Amino acid sequence: MVLTGLLFLSSGLFMGWSLGANDAANIFGTAVGTKMVRFRTAAIISCLFIILGAVVGGRGTTHGLGALGAVDRLAGAFIVSLSAAVTVLWMTRFGLPVSTSQAIVGAIIGWNLFTKNPTDPVVLTRIVGTWVYGPVLAGIFAMLLFLIVRRVVNNSTIHLLLLDRYTRNALLIAGAFGAYSLGANNIANVMGVFIQAMDIPPREFAGFVLSGEQQLFLLGGLAIAVGVVTFSKRVMLTVGDNLFKLSPVSAFIVVAATALVLFIFSSTWLSDLFVSVGLPPIPLVPVSQSQACVGAVVGIGLVKGGWRIINYRLLGKIGLGWVATPVLSASLSYVLLFFMQNVFLQNVHM
């Protein structure tokens, strides 16, 4: 029974591994690539805070995703997660900007279509809206942070060597926050679809009682951590050296702005606070960390050089990804669910 459960969970764990290998690089890429922070330090901080974020703050986005479609059978959850993972793999191989969040949303819609479960247009609109708000908000945060940091650094009399030390510490703190937010926000992509399909009793771990949901988040967090440890170094060095070369100060701003966005879209506390003051609740859904990063980089670019610096080709590619990723993922999910149900004779829904 446990073995069957683990077998079906493998697609989610693979998704977690892939997330750890790729997305941790967005957090510590510049710091490690420029040798300001050792990979070991970056990996330890990433793993600890990703797991912490997943277990402590993963609930909000998971429920947000569950509102789109509550996958209620393990075989169905396996296929949904596998379809999303394969879509991410394909699109990455073709060099298209891809988001695990968009892939999982597409795969759930595929499950809805296959099981004739209606997709709530309000929920879908809310989720799709965050794909746009995420990068835009990251861009705005990055602009504001950049203006503040520029004012402080350029007008300060802090010695260059102390500034060097502060920048490194700021990168570590922002990295820890980024890792926490990534864990809290993106764990839904890794384990979200398995929540309804698995009934796990609460267990005690090191003096803490973890609910079944939290145990799945812990497992997903560990899968992400394995991805960080085994594969993210190469990606970090690529981000630090080749793709977009950021100065350490800009890297801090990008990481902090991205982390803020991911935190906002995963914090139940913040959403409740909004409601308590009469504002609409924040949609708690997984957002793309990579696209939020791009938004933050564009934000800094806008402050530095105006509209001319925007790479419209890249924005076009991201826009294409918003359509292509869920469509591809939904189609794959539909086809694979058909095979799972009719060839492997496994129930994919109640």
Chain residues that interact with another protein, rule: CB under 8 A = 34-36, 146, 149-150, 153-155, 157-162, 164-165, 167-168, 247-249
CA–CA distances in Å: residue 163 to residues 31, 148, 157, 247: 15, 15, 10, 13
Residue 132 phi, psi (nearest 5): -85, -45
Whichever of 126 and 168 has its CB closer to another protein, that residue is 168
Whether the CB-CB separation of 19 and 186 falls below 8 Å is answered with yes
Is residue 295 within 8 Å of residue 319, measured between CB atoms? no
Of 37 and 324, the one with the shorter C-beta distance to another protein is 37
Alpha helices, DSSP H only, in the chain? 2-33, 39-57, 59-66, 74-93, 100-115, 121-155, 160-191, 212-241, 248-264, 268-276, 289-305, 312-342
Which of 38/203 has CB closer to another protein? 38
DSSP string computed for 78-89: HHHHHHHHHHHH
Q: How many CB atoms lie within 10 A of CB 154?
A: 7
Q: Quick one: 165 or 203, whose CB is closer to another protein?
A: 165
In the complex, minimum distance from the CB of residue 155 to another protein, in angstroms, rounded to a whole number: 7
As measured in angstroms, the least distance from the Cβ of 29 to another protein is 15
- What is the per-residue DSSP string for 247-282? -HHHHHHHHHHHHHHHHHTT-HHHHHHHHHTTPPPP
> Closest distance between another protein and the C-beta of residue 247, in Å?
7
Q: What is the rounded distance in angstroms from the CA atom of residue 266 to the CA atom of residue 286?
A: 7
CB of 296 to another protein, least distance (A): 15
Q: Least CB distance from residue 308 to another protein, whole Å?
A: 20
Length of the chain in terms of residues written: 350
* CB of 167 vs another protein, minimal distance in Å: 6
Tell me whether residue 7 or residue 147 sits nearer to another protein (CB atom): 147
E strand intervals along the chain: 203-205, 208-210
C-beta of residue 74 within 8 angstroms of C-beta of residue 56: no
Question: Cβ closer to another protein: 162 or 310?
Answer: 162
Q: Which is closer to another protein, CB of 83 or CB of 167? A: 167
Smallest distance from the beta carbon of 117 to another protein, in angstroms?
A: 51
Q: Which lies closer to another protein via its Cβ, residue 212 or residue 248?
A: 248
Taking the complex as a whole, how short is the minimal distance between the CB of residue 165 and another protein, in angstroms? 5
Residue 21 · residue 227 · CB < 8 Å = yes
CA pair distance 134, 221, nearest whole angstrom: 22
